[in-house]
Structure 1
Amino acid sequence: MWFRTIWNVEGGNVLGFSRLMRRYTSVNRSVIDMAAKDGELRVFVVSGEVSGDTIGSRLMSSLKKLSPIPVRFSGVGGTKMSSQGLDSVFPMEDIAVMGLLELLPHLIKLRVKLHETIEAALLFQPHVVVTVDSKGFSFRLLKQLRARYSQERIKIPSHFHYVAPSFWAWKGGEARLSGLAGFVDHVLCILPNEEEICRSNGLVATFVGHPILEDVCELNLDTSPHEWIIEGNSEIFRRDHAIPTGATIISLLPGSRLQEVTRMLSLFASTVELLKDSVPDLVPVIHVAANQHVKDYITEFINKWPVSAIMIPGGSLHQKYNAFSASSVALCASGTVALELQLARLPCVVAYRAHFLTEWIIRYKAKISYISLPNILLDSYIIPEALFQACTPAKLASLILNMLNDDGLQEKQIVAAEKVTGLLCALPRNIQNLEEPHRRLRLPHSTPSMIAASTILYHEKPS
């Protein structure tokens, strides 16, 4: 059956068939070659947070589009991955924990979930295992899975990790990369510097481009990389929420994990309290991540706010970018959202707080001066950051007022955004190096998830 399927994909010609036969008789066989023998590609994919759920769902969609044989999924994910056909072993929120010391109260539960995930993977018998970000859980999973496969003398599937660990940001961190080669076959990198760093430490790696750029493609915007910008409809947003024309809207993005949101949202509420006298008709818009625990917490917390606030549920890109378009400035927790704001050309302030011991460790171990990706990529203090003990309502309110009242500061971020989005595109050679059936992919089809999917399908392991 799979011969007929591949015959159709290759165009039903003798040249295509002979090329496939040479592939099947080679010493190294790709993931799709080995899966074709079983008539299906089984992918075990794991994500532990909201951003990873989005990345995972887009990867799943791309695998289904590019694979010449049916694809079946198992693993751990959220609502978006479930919509692509994943029956999650348990709710993704069970492992959505961040921080260093913050992990301690959750260690027993995480160990139980790790065991459940390993057993589910062994039962599924995947051709490929893909972990998305969440390196603490992901690396333990891949390492213990490989040990179990070796112990039980089962053929080891290809192991991919999507989103390279940011060891480059830590003192002595790069040395830790070399240890990953023992249980990670291929790293899919999303930042331009990571591919070279991974390869210099003995890892097979590919820079596929940053997943945030797929927002442009999902909204069907036809622009070149250096012109990538998402212009939402501010009028629709104001109309739908009955917001007067003269009101000042501030987008608030407190994070995607409950642990993070409980810490940041109270700071944001106090900041709004300080701003309300200086900013007439202030309308805070709280963007809620697609995490049920987070949604429940914010819904209850919002009743205590000093001014009436609007909640925007996660999941709808149109609502998100319409809100961004209507906003004058954004206040966000450190994370990928800073890049979303760059796409929207919305000036922002980045905030970060954690347990005081976690903050002390970060201060001691970090070797970079910034925490937001745009600043890191440009090595410049483009976006104001309020970090650690300096992240107070008074400091945040001051930074926001400066941004609202200084057109020069706003313009500086808008100009920098073009450079940042350009840096996040996949390297031309990585697009040209796609397997032959996929070389025709061009924007908007040569998305990070499409490049990642092609890389996975044609990754070769020694027999």
Structure 2
Amino acid sequence: MNELPVSACFSPSIDTDAQSMLKMLLRTIRDIKNGGEMGFSSVLRRSFSVRSRTVVDMGDKDGELRVFMVAGEVSGDSIASRLMASLKKLSPLPIRFSGVGGPRMSKEGLESLFPMEDISVMGIWELLPHLNKFRVRLKETIEGAILFQPHVVVTVDSKGFSFRLLKQLRARYGWQELNGPLHFHYVAPSFWAWKGGEARLKGLANFVDHILCILPNEEAVCKLNGLDATFVGHPVLEDIFEFNLGKQASPHDLKIEGNSEDFRRKYALSSEVASLEGAAVISLLPGSRLQEVIRMLSIFAHTFDQLKDSIPELITVIHVAPNKHVENYIDGVIRKWPVPAILIPGGHQHLKYDAFSASRIALCTSGTVAMELQLARLPCVIAYRAHILTEWYIQYKAKIPYISLPNILTDSAIIPEALFQACTPTNLASLLMKLMHNKGLQEEQIVAAENVIKLLFPSERIINNLEEQMEWKFPNCTPSMIAASTILRHVKS
């Protein structure tokens, strides 16, 4: 099969199966509203009643739905927690969770088998020192899943751990001739980024029943390779719904405006810092995994050391990921930070976007945060370094020239990227100074951000159609709700 060009891989569309699924979901909610609270369970049961066995049918005989979920990173913890909340809203049965996750999943009712940070390792050679612990935790997770006897297993991102888990689970159930659970994986592997990536999709169908995709054309490519999939929208869009909760929202409100004045008052920052020509507040997002934070924060410290002479009123706002190891490390490093710094604890959405609003620009390690900065319309520079052998492997295997999703989606270097050997303090300082003093470059990023966010959403035509036919408002069409409905309605073959 001919490879699709990068620009074709991200057309903003959603196929008819996904439209039908959304319509059924919204019709169910409308029926519940019309039927009143007493009819909640019966309406949902009727909605999920089909000739074949859906996930709900599987749990019905046990009087509960057991869902085993695994997330290995901060972003995965966020995605999984929202999915858990949506499953609880939509399921006509009580749901019991088990698995591996972080603090946000814990708030939704998960008691993690072990700390999520134990499997939060990215890279090839970076994994080697942790390989034994990785194997032990994988075995514990497999045993925990079998003991839990789930109807559904959902893994979120972290493909190295997730796919090993799903493959070995499927094998274990096969050996014991047991009727195993359905396997869902949330966040498709980045097959579009790697040489031969699409070819490797075919093998996933042996142990993954359904992929929940977060980029538009991933669904079509997965299906072409025999892998059932649904495009549910990008998880970062959930920030819009949560931030604008209670406000009048529409499909046009694809951005988040924090309160810069509240942030300045909270941290006793003079308003002059924002207006003085030689002053700047720069948001710094060093990453969520301890390994990358250790590597990147050293580079960033030297970068700000170079900037302080050119920007005498420089303040760094450091966003700390909700990872206890990262928190402890940054607490130690900050004592020797070259310029005044404010630490923003992870998990505080409003405070994070208030800080973005008070910042002139941002410097971040490549990751999900790049999309959050797009929502905030905050111009940024993206940086990344890895083990030298991992960098060599990426350069050899990658088929696209960019690492950040905004640049990949637009197929252009709208956001400056300083990668691998180019990720030096001198280069970063130069890029930041250029961005800070060039309004044209800032405006290019802001304009591009609006287009990027639109690509991650079902089209406005589809949303308007759903609002008109189902009498359900736009903010309820969240990625996690679509994902939850996809899981609950999935028919086991």
TM-score grouping bracket, smaller chain normalisation: over 0.9
Q: 1:224 to 1:431 in 2, by over 3 A?
A: closer
Q: Give, in whole Å, the separation in 2 of the partners of 1:386 and 1:34.
A: 50
Give the % identical residues: 68
User: How many angstroms apart in 1 are the aligned matches of 2:44 and 2:443?
Assistant: 57
Q: Give the Å deviation of 1:228.
A: 1.0
Which runs of 5 or more structure 1 residues have no equivalent in the other structure?
1-7
Is the CA contact (8 Å cut-off) linking 2:251 and 2:474 kept in structure 1? no
Whole-angstrom distance in 1 between the partners of 2:154 and 2:78: 14
Shift of 1:36: 1.3
Over 3 Å counting, the alpha-carbon distance change for 1:363 and 1:433 in structure 2 is farther
Separation in 1 of the partners of 2:398 and 2:334? Answer: 34
CA distance in 1, matches of 2:474, 2:462: 14
Structure 2 gaps of 5+ residues are 1-30, 274-279
1:315 maps to what in 2?
Answer: 347
Q: Structure 2 vs 1, CA of residues 197 and 333 (structure 1 numbering), >3 Å: closer, same or farther?
A: same
TM (norm. structure 1) is: 0.93
Residue 238 of structure 1, aligned match among 264, 283, 305: 264
Match of 2:372 among 340, 344, 358: 340
CA distances 1:423-448 after superposition (whole Å, capped 9, x unpaired): 011367998999xxx96654211100
Alignment-mate amino acid for residue 153 of structure 1: E
1:295 to 302, 327, 332: 327
Show the counterpart of 2:21: none
**Aligned twin of 2:238:** 214
Shift of 1:33: 1.3
CA RMSD across the alignment: 2.3
Q: Which amino acid aligns with 1:208?
A: V
**Inter-partner Cα distance in structure 2 for 1:186 and 1:214:** 22
Asked if the contact 2:113/2:141 (under 8 Å) is kept, the reply is: yes
Tell me the SS of whatever aligns to 1:286: strand
Q: Using a 3 Å threshold, how does the CA distance of structure 1 residues 428 and 162 change in structure 2: closer, same or farther? A: farther
Inter-partner Cα distance in structure 2 for 1:127 and 1:218: 29
Alignment of 1:70 with 2:94, yes or no, is yes
In structure 1, C-alpha distance between the alignment counterparts of 2:162 and 2:121, rounded to whole Å: 13
Q: Give the equivalent residue in structure 2 for 1:409.
A: 441
Match of 1:447 among 468, 474, 478: 478
Would the alpha carbon gap of residues 447 and 303 (structure 1) be closer, same or farther in structure 2, given more than 3 Å must change? same
Specify the alignment match of 2:5 in structure 1. Answer: none
Alignment of 1:156-167 (within 5 A): 156-167=180-191
Aligned to 1:112: 136
Partner of 1:179: 203
Which one-letter code corresponds to 2:82 in the other structure?
R
**Change over 3 Å in CA distance of 1:418–1:229 after alignment to 2:** same
Range that drifts further, 127-136 or 272-281: 272-281
Alpha-carbon distance between aligned partners in 2 of 1:328 and 1:17, rounded to the nearest angstrom:
51
CA shift in 2, pair 1:439/1:128, >3 Å: farther
Q: Which residue of 2 aligns with 1:306?
A: 338
Letter in 1 for 2:229: A
Q: Which amino acid aligns with 2:250?
A: S
SS of equivalent residue, structure 2 residue 109: coil
**Cross-structure match for 1:4:** none
Instruction: Give the C-alpha shift of residue 224 in structure 1.
Output: 2.9
In the TM superposition, 1:94-109 aligns within 5 A as 94-109=118-133
Distance 1:378 1:39 in 2: 48
Residue of structure 2 aligned with 1:227, choices 247, 253, 256: 253
Structure-to-structure mapping, 1:427-438, within 5 angstroms: none
The structure 1 residue matched to 2:168, chosen from 144, 167, 177, is 144
Q: Does 1:369 align with 2:395?
A: no
Which of 145, 165, 168 is matched with 1:121 structurally?
145
Cα distance in 2 for partners of 1:145, 1:127 equals 13
- Find the counterpart in structure 2 of residue 195 from structure 1: 219
TM alignment of 1:80-95, pairs within 5 A: 80-95=104-119
Q: Are the aligned partners of 1:229 and 1:344 in contact in 2 as well (CA < 8 Å)?
A: yes
Q: Identify if the C-alpha distance between structure 1 residues 342 and 174 changes in structure 2 by more than 3 Å, giving closer, same or farther.
A: same
Match of 1:3? none
SS at match of 1:107: helix
Return the letter of the residue paired with 1:236. D
Deviation at 1:280? 2.5
Aligned length: 449
- Point out the more displaced range, 321-330 or 148-157: 148-157
2: distance between equivalents of 1:216 and 1:18?
28
* AA at the equivalent of 1:231: E
Matched letter for residue 306 of structure 2: L
For the pair 1:458 / 2:458, whether they are aligned, the reply is: no
Query: In structure 2, the residue corresponding to 1:225 is in which secondary structure?
Result: coil
Q: 2:313 aligns with which of 281, 286, 301?
A: 281
